[in-house]
Structure 1
Amino acid sequence: MDPFEDMLRRLREAFGSGRTQEAEFRATQLKGLGRFLEENKQLLQEALVQDLRKMVFESEVSEFSICQGEINLALKNLQAWMKDEEVTKNLATQLDSAFIRKEPFGLVLIITPWNYPVNLTLVPLVGALAAGNCVVLKPSEISGNTGKVLAEVLPRYLDQSCFAVVTGGPKEVQQLLEHKFDYIFFTGSSRVGKIIMAAATKHLTPVTLELGGKNPCYVHDDCDPQTVANRVAFFRYLNTGQTCVAPDYVLCSPEMQERLVPALQSAITRFYGDDPKSSPDLGRIINDKHFQRLQGLLGSGRVAIGGQSDSSDRYIAPTVLVDVQETEPVMQEEIFGPILPIVTVRSLDEAIDFINRREKPLALYAFSNSQQVVKEVLFRTSSGAFCGNDGFMYMTLSSLPFGGVGASGMGKYHGKFTFDTFSHHRACLLRYSGMEKVNSIRYPPYSPQKLRVLLMAMETHSSSCTLL
């Protein structure tokens, strides 16, 4: 017996009724989502502590404020986003109406990860609801406490004829994927992303895949090492390194490594004290499986800072590895933990070549006092996102798209980009019903004169005028 058949039928019937098309209904859903955040913040915070030992500061900055900002932005701009978009016309269609209509896809599936279980669940949901879709939400079973709040409490704030939460693990996801959805949005590992995409292919379902990868961080010799260390350490060890856009490894010269390592030690001590394990500002690894995987990576290169671990507490100290070789395990997979390898290169060209030999990353960082150096790294590489002289501060801008390229993912979201991702952009032309004689130039019998006139009428001219 199919456990999801009745639920999916109910959601499709709700979408077919047209209820989600109206702006008022969408706004009501978004307001309900906002109330859920406001009224259950403490409950969610407690769940984040249980799952990741995530402190209030990090939760406010990286989970709640971002979600609330996305809700506010969508509510403020919903009418404008939904409005038909007028397009340029040619001579043949001057009397007609040509526009792009933003339609909801229908029934969409959102599968979310465990590392930022509020942010990475609710931000896609904002766009899906704003675009007028019915939604099946599948939170990660790994962050089980947060997932329980989402499953048990969130549906009370939304129209349950148009929204459902599915709990469970890989088995339930596989069962869901046997059904046809109109869009699938997935955030997680590349390994699972391939499974999602293969399942979607059977139904020709479009997908957004927000994956990951190894994000390079190039540090030029002209940098102030303490400034770089402060910024890299903050973004590497935030959420205990369990961030898909965190700097995954540093590329620098041997001379810069000698200056950078003591600066990193200074930053880590100032951030987390002499005993980081007792710091209230450092979380823990999500589960034993990930802890064991990360502990195995500590054998790469040489430990210059940290390296301590405690399996009973799922604690791994903020760690820096040096003398790391490209072939070692820590350089073969996304780390997703508080470990920072440093790989030495002889020049900027060698660093860029190192980056370009690997899969395109989700994010790329370059530090230099020279804008020319930063822009050269930007120009000669490709990544989902790029930031010069800092970490993932671009994530605070809803005006910038977030998404990968190549192996790090496909599709984009945040702000209006999320609304557009969950909307079908429908090409519409409403033609004038009269003046049939004008159309005679396109009908047989053909002639060279008809062809010349028709080609002129079909040509689209720029709205701007250039005087030669």
Structure 2
Amino acid sequence: MATPAGARSMGEDRQSPPRMDPFEDTLRRLREAFGAGRTRPAEFRTEQLQALSRFLQDNRKLLQDALAQDLHKSAFESELSEIGISLNEIRLALSKLRTWMKDERVPRNLATQLDSAFIRKEPYGLVLIVAPWNYPLNLTLVPLVGAIAAGNCVVLKPSEVSSSIEKVLAEVLPRYLDQSCFAVVLGGPEETRRLLEHRFDYIFFTGNPHVGKIVMTAAAKHLTPVTLELGGKNPCYVDDNCDPQTVANRVTWFRYFNAGQTCVAPDYVLCTPETRERLLPALQSAITRFYGEDPRSSPDLGRIINQKHFQRLQALLRCGRVAIGGQSDESQRYIAPTVLVDVQEAEPVMQEEIFGPILPILTVGGLDEAIAFINRREKPLALYAFSNNNQVVKQVLARTNSGGFCGNDGFMHMTLGSLPFGGVGTSGMGSYHGKFSFDTFSHRRACLLRSSGLEKLNELRYPPYSARRLPLLLMAMEERRCPCTLL
């Protein structure tokens, strides 16, 4: 009788064949390229950054279409938050690259006045960047800019959830970059888990805290340094002393941008009952002006990424009471811009990051109670405060802790390459954007170059030790910032 396909015949080894490692050849190729020094010259880094810029410009329409397919993003939002911000990072890196790469001279002590002391910025080696689905282009390419500028070889793992952008990154991006130094790998959670079994020299992960712990555990096995960009529940305090319509305009824009699927969006508003009553009609007015009487037909409002997240958000709509919006359409993965009131702190909508177009409003007695509420929760990725009184904004800043802070607006701090972007505590560790990206992917190597002569000067430190030499030696090793010299 014939043996069925896939079955084992009698006497055949019953052990499973060894698993093939789909990443081994790719990682070996990249390590060899780094070991050969291909990525270290400034000229190579510049060429790759220029190629990345061409990728974005040559394929702008293709990328916009892919973002529309994945998230129903308008061309405006795609350009503003994905393509444009990535191009800005590339331009900054290209203009500052040689300055960033320069050795950084440091002060010397008396004992080393005749020597050269400096910090050299060196690439880590083989870097893994694991990106999320909500800004699938921005959050893949902006870290990549820093990794390239710092001289690393890179493995990119885009999210399989945003499948259209994943396909463009996998099929088109490699045509622009040196494939001996950069690779895009595909797959879901299982493939990512197997990828993390390998040793990398640095891991950059953007996602949620649960997966962040998995990444950090895997990195710990190889003592690999990590940057974790995670997220959390970002508070937004609205003071009684404010113009409610101005606040509503700004909160509406950055809460419902990308259908609320933004890690720095406000996850809840804290205000007094009086301010809530002034804010609600202003929010309704802003939502209507931005998205029309029927937001479902607006070309500017995104959609939920998939059915799983749609169902999760549907459950959150049952928390508190719907004051604005609340409509949904599962066939389109549409959820209207929604405001919830009478929400209790113990309800699910206050226990997890919302990541959708839902905004709970909780009432507090005033500033002190709002700050106490914020401080008894985990440290957020971003924190916002609105007030016509600058002292109120400064009090919120001084008495709380968060990855980033913005007074009287939302997530505009992210547009500044001069500011680091990153979390603290459960919202993440490490930062990037602008020069901070270059620094994140660079090892700061401490270097001291000494003379091989002048041995007589070193006799103070050699045995046999003498008590009278110790004060002289300690004085010589003390760092002095005055322009003194032995010459």
Q: Structure 2 CA distance, aligned partners of 1:244 and 1:453?
A: 56
Match of 1:31 among 37, 50, 56: 50
Cα deviation code 1:399-433 (max 9, x no counterpart): 00000000000000000000110011000000111
Q: Structure 1 CA distance, aligned partners of 2:74 and 2:156?
A: 26
Q: State the partner residue of 1:204.
A: 223
Q: Structure 1 CA distance, aligned partners of 2:483 and 2:51?
A: 45
Measure how far apart 1:357 and its partner are. Answer: 0.4
Q: State the partner residue of 1:334.
A: 353
Aligned to 2:331, what secondary structure does the other structure show?
Answer: coil
Question: In the alignment, is residue 160 of structure 1 matched against residue 179 of structure 2?
Answer: yes
Q: State the partner residue of 1:49.
A: 68
Measure how far apart 1:464 and its partner are. Answer: 8.8
Cα deviation code 1:309-368 (max 9, x no counterpart): 010110000000001110111000000000000000002111000000000000000011
Cα deviation code 1:365-406 (max 9, x no counterpart): 001111111111101100000000000001110000000000
Measure how far apart 1:447 and its partner are. Answer: 2.0
Question: Could you list the runs of 5+ residues in structure 2 that have no partner in the other structure?
Answer: 1-19
The letter of the residue matching 1:439 is N
Question: Could you list the runs of 5+ residues in structure 1 that have no partner in the other structure?
Answer: none
- Residues 415 and 463 (structure 1 numbering): CA distance in 2 closer, same or farther, change over 3 Å? farther
Question: In the alignment, is residue 184 of structure 1 matched against residue 203 of structure 2?
Answer: yes
Match of 1:145 among 160, 164, 167: 164
Aligned to 1:19, what secondary structure does the other structure show?
Answer: coil
Q: State the partner residue of 2:300.
A: 281
Question: In the alignment, is residue 299 of structure 1 matched against residue 314 of structure 2?
Answer: no
Q: Structure 1 CA distance, aligned partners of 2:22 and 2:428?
A: 30
Q: Structure 1 CA distance, aligned partners of 2:162 and 2:483?
A: 54
Q: State the partner residue of 2:414.
A: 395
Spell out structure 1 runs of 4+ moving beyond 4 A: none
Q: Structure 2 CA distance, aligned partners of 1:42 and 1:106?
A: 34
Q: State the partner residue of 2:122.
A: 103
Q: State the partner residue of 1:264.
A: 283
Q: State the partner residue of 1:254.
A: 273
Q: State the partner residue of 1:127.
A: 146
Question: In the alignment, is residue 69 of structure 1 matched against residue 69 of structure 2?
Answer: no
Match of 2:232 among 213, 220, 237: 213
Q: State the partner residue of 1:351.
A: 370
Aligned to 1:399, what secondary structure does the other structure show?
Answer: coil
Q: Structure 2 CA distance, aligned partners of 1:77 and 1:49?
A: 33
Question: In the alignment, is residue 325 of structure 1 matched against residue 344 of structure 2?
Answer: yes
The letter of the residue matching 1:414 is H
Measure how far apart 1:39 and its partner are. Answer: 0.3
Measure how far apart 1:444 and its partner are. Answer: 1.4
Aligned to 1:251, what secondary structure does the other structure show?
Answer: strand
Cα deviation code 1:39-76 (max 9, x no counterpart): 00110000000000100110111111110010011111
Q: State the partner residue of 1:230.
A: 249
- Residues 336 and 426 (structure 1 numbering): CA distance in 2 closer, same or farther, change over 3 Å? same
Measure how far apart 1:461 and its partner are. Answer: 2.1
Aligned to 1:248, what secondary structure does the other structure show?
Answer: strand
Q: State the partner residue of 2:13.
A: none
Cα deviation code 1:140-198 (max 9, x no counterpart): 00000001000000000000000100011001101100100000000001110000000
Measure how far apart 1:80 and its partner are. Answer: 0.6
Measure how far apart 1:18 and its partner are. Answer: 0.6
Q: State the partner residue of 2:261.
A: 242
Measure how far apart 1:448 and its partner are. Answer: 2.4
Q: State the partner residue of 2:33.
A: 14
Q: Give the TM-score of the pair, scaled to structure 2.
A: 0.95
Q: Structure 2 CA distance, aligned partners of 1:65 and 1:393?
A: 14
Q: Structure 2 CA distance, aligned partners of 1:236 and 1:191?
A: 23
Aligned to 2:193, what secondary structure does the other structure show?
Answer: helix
Between 439-448 and 200-209, report the one with greater CA deviation: 439-448
- Residues 463 and 350 (structure 1 numbering): CA distance in 2 closer, same or farther, change over 3 Å? farther
Q: State the partner residue of 2:432.
A: 413
The letter of the residue matching 2:69 is Q
Q: Structure 2 CA distance, aligned partners of 1:82 and 1:336?
A: 38
Identity rate of aligned residues, in percent? 78
Measure how far apart 1:84 and its partner are. Answer: 0.5
Measure how far apart 1:463 and its partner are. Answer: 4.4
Aligned to 2:129, what secondary structure does the other structure show?
Answer: strand
The letter of the residue matching 1:23 is A
Aligned residue pairs total 465
Q: Give the TM-score of the pair, scaled to structure 1.
A: 0.99
Question: In the alignment, is residue 450 of structure 1 matched against residue 469 of structure 2?
Answer: yes
Q: Structure 1 CA distance, aligned partners of 2:214 and 2:270?
A: 32
Measure how far apart 1:462 and its partner are. Answer: 3.1
- Residues 156 and 327 (structure 1 numbering): CA distance in 2 closer, same or farther, change over 3 Å? same
- In our comparison, the structure showing a higher alpha carbon Rg is 2
Measure how far apart 1:446 and its partner are. Answer: 1.7
Cα deviation code 1:198-251 (max 9, x no counterpart): 000001000000001000000000011111000000000000000000011000
Cα deviation code 1:257-276 (max 9, x no counterpart): 01000100000000001100
Aligned to 1:20, what secondary structure does the other structure show?
Answer: coil
The letter of the residue matching 2:408 is N
Match of 1:382 among 401, 406, 410: 401
Match of 1:88 among 82, 107, 128: 107
Q: Structure 1 CA distance, aligned partners of 2:276 and 2:452?
A: 73
Cα deviation code 1:17-51 (max 9, x no counterpart): 01111010111111110110010011000000000
